[in-house]
Amino acid sequence: MKTAIVTGASSGIGEATARRLRQLGFTVYAAARRIDRMAALERDGIRVASVDVTDDRSMEDLVERVIKETGRVDVLVNNAGYGSYGAVEDVPLDEARRQFDVNVFGLARLTQLVLPHMRARRSGRIVNVSSIGGKIYEPLGGWYHATKFAVEGLSDSMRVELAPFGIDVVVIEPGGIRTEWGGIAAGSALARSGHTAYGEQAKMVAGLLNAAEANPRLISPPTVVADAIAKAVTVRRPKTRYAVGGGAKPILFTRRVLPDRGFDRLLVAMLRFAGGRSAKAERTSEPMPGVRNAA
């Protein structure tokens, strides 16, 4: 039986992926900081582990446990991550470093730990959950987008260097997904920049996220991403990238065809529209919908 490790598995995409791989017959190790939130996964036969991707020892313990119990690691799904928003000027560098520690260096370190075992078997799949945010940009998302651009470049380099060992590297690029990510991102934008020189932009960015959430055509359940990951780890020759979820493909297409300045203008127009909706909602005392976008 093949073995898979899934990080960030306490909710959203990670939880859905752990369940999907279990359905496919994998021995699944679901890893997250809060093990109490994975009780339902454990009841369903998924092995859970308390892991902090910024803590080397916890990741080493996880890989040692997996090898001891199953003797192999066939799939690693690097899903753990979060969105920290705010103007580059306003975000403390300690927070910027933490964003990279979780979204990039945690991913890289866990990959380093499983690769010797994959190379020994001359097979394996590394699945890195990036985002359409690894291909586009937006104001107040500089540090978050920088981490996802880094994941994209790191994955491309690894794909080539690991190919001789029979190891595939796949990037997943979710669009709008119902998870906890968007609420954290919008909240951090307002907390860090809502009362600074970037206050109006912060309100508009939060409004844009809320407007996307209110449109069912732009948001998808986490199972859509889980299905793409399942396909990526079971087909003989996976794609290098899977863009899935609400708005992912049209947004990436728009980015490809528009020049930088053109995309800048589109962003500004969208922000102004969202800002107008937000202001109208405040005047009429209508609560803005919660934000739950992709990681």
Catalytic center residues? 144
Residue type, 266: L
By the 8 A CB rule, do 157 and 108 touch? no
For 5, the 3-state DSSP assignment is: strand
Q: Does an H or E element contain 173, and which?
A: strand 167-174
**What torsion do the CA atoms of 63, 64, 67, 70 make, to the nearest 10 degrees?**
-90
Q: Which two tokens stand for residue 247?
A: 């708005």
Site of tokens 């991913």: 107
Residues in contact with 292: Cβ distance below 8 Å, sequence separation at least 6, in sequence order = 177, 178, 179, 180, 181, 182, 183, 213, 219
Q: What is the DSSP letter of 123?
A: -
Sign of CA dihedral 94, 98, 100, 101: positive
By the 8 A CB rule, do 72 and 117 touch? yes
Residues 293, 174: Cα–Cα separation, whole Å:
9
Q: Which two tokens stand for residue 158?
A: 């690894």
By the 8 A CB rule, do 148 and 102 touch? no
